[in-house]
Amino acid sequence: MEQFAILRLGTIRRNLDDIKFDRAIWELKNTRYDINAIQADAPTITHCISAVRYIVAKSTGIILPKAYIGDMCHEICTSHQCLEPEVRALSEQEKWDLIFFREKSLYHKAYMISHIGIFIDDDRDFFHSNWKKWGEINHISEYIQTGKIATCKILANYTDPRRK
């Protein structure tokens, strides 16, 4: 069975301020969700990408590339910001790693990256902003059985079918 994947950003790990990280998470908890949110709306209104970008920017000063969710992993991996991205197995997860989720598109007949979260501790709790419950913290075990977590193979070679 293929392993689930996370994306580790080496630069974030070296530049992270834990106090600012925790404060950014706290600011985003229960934040109103809007699919059209822009970075400037955070922390008042967010979606999954703007929430993660806000957390990283507030706690490290690093601005992740602005990208459509399906392109975000590729944009990070090809960024010229020296982010040192690395696709790793979920079993190697650490605080500040990014996790991507996928769903099968009926229109495109393919699995597509559809959501992102950021781990907030080494116990596999992660923060994400979603349309159902807004900004919240969940444990990854709630998602492992769903098949919605992107695998190492998907993250390492992902091309969004909407961009073809």
Which pLDDT score, from 0 to 100, does residue 119 have?
Answer: 92
| Domain-wise residue ranges, the chain | 5-163
Exposed / middle / buried, residue 156 (Cβ in 10 Å: 0-12, 13-18, 19+):
middle
The CA-based dihedral angle spanning residues 126, 132, 135, 138, taken in that order and rounded to the nearest 10 degrees: -20
- Report the DSSP pairing between strands 125-130 and 5-9: unpaired
- Could you tell me the sign of the dihedral formed by the alpha carbons of 55, 61, 67, 70, in that order? negative
pLDDT along the chain (164 residues), means of 10: 74 82 89 80 85 89 78 74 79 88 76 86 88 81 82 74 65
Strands 45-46 and 125-130, sheet pairing: unpaired
Q: Distance from CA of residue 149 to its chain's centroid?
A: 11
> How far is C-alpha 100 from the chain's CA centre?
5
Structure tokens at 7: 């994306």
5-163 CATH choice from 3.90.1720.10, 3.40.50.720, 3.30.1490.100, 2.60.130.10: 3.90.1720.10
pTM: 0.85
Residue 46: partners with Cβ closer than 8 Å, 6 or more residues away: 28, 31, 32, 33, 34, 37, 54, 129, 135
Task: Tell me how far CA of residue 42 lies from CA of 37, 73, 131, 151, in angstroms.
Answer: 8, 21, 15, 29
Model confidence pLDDT, tens digit, residues 45-58: 888 888 888 998 89
The predicted-structure confidence for 97-121, as pLDDT tens digits, reads as follows 888 888 877 776 777 788 889 999 8
